[in-house]
Amino acid sequence: MAAARMRERKARRATAAGWLKLFATPAGNLPMSDTASLIEHYYDAFNRGDWEAMLACLTEDVTHDLNQGDRELGREAFRRFLARMQASYREQLHKIVVMASADGRRAAAEYEVHGTYLADDAGLPPAHGQRYVLPGGAFFDIRDGRIARVSNYYNLTDWIAQVAGG
């Protein structure tokens, strides 16, 4: 049983780079269904906490628009963002719906965030294990078979109300 679970886990953790090679077209664009699969793969990696698989889905110069915050540029900045998130939050995304443009260059996702606030995050209320659930969404640009922009959105006021009252 454990061996079968390990084989399944290894198969699921195949590098995103190898996965992307299967779907990228010579022009570097992904058909709509493959773009949706790329975004689903990205979120599957998020839910597993597999940051390397997430990062492999991104272009080296990825643009990351933080919710109600700054714009960060580059895969290494995204890696630092993931480290900050891992230190303060434990999150899973549920009810993920992915939409992609016909040419595969743009995508959007809507989801429900289920999380626990683990450690204080700068400028936000104190953390003491508060749980929260809120809707969220993201917009994506796709270039050369990878995510070139991620813009995340959720209602910060709703999140603060949930963690301040919890």
pLDDT for position 2: 57
Which residues, including other chains, have CB under 8 Å from residue 136's CB and lie 6 or more apart?
A: 67, 93, 110, 111, 112, 113, 152, 153, 154
Contact indicator for 118, 86 with CB cutoff of 8 Å: no
Q: Residue 98: what residue type? A: V
Q: In CATH, what number is assigned to the domain containing residue 84?
A: 3.10.450.50
- Tens of pLDDT along the chain (166 residues) come to 555 555 554 554 444 445 444 444 444 555 556 899 999 999 999 999 999 999 999 999 999 998 878 899 999 999 999 999 999 999 999 999 999 998 899 999 999 999 999 999 988 999 999 999 999 999 999 998 999 999 999 999 999 999 997 5
Alpha helices in the chain (DSSP H): 2-12, 16-23, 32-48, 51-56, 75-88, 156-165
CA–CA separation, 14 and 20 (whole Å): 11
- What is the DSSP track for 43-79? HHHHHHT-HHHHHHTEEEEEEEE-TTS-EEESHHHHH
Strands of 130-143's sheet, edge to edge?
71-73, 58-65, 146-154, 130-143, 106-117, 89-100
Number of domains in the chain: 1
Domain boundaries, position 107: 2-165
pLDDT for position 112: 97
State pTM to two decimals.
0.79
Q: 64: phi > 0 → left, psi -120 to 50 → alpha, else beta; which? A: beta
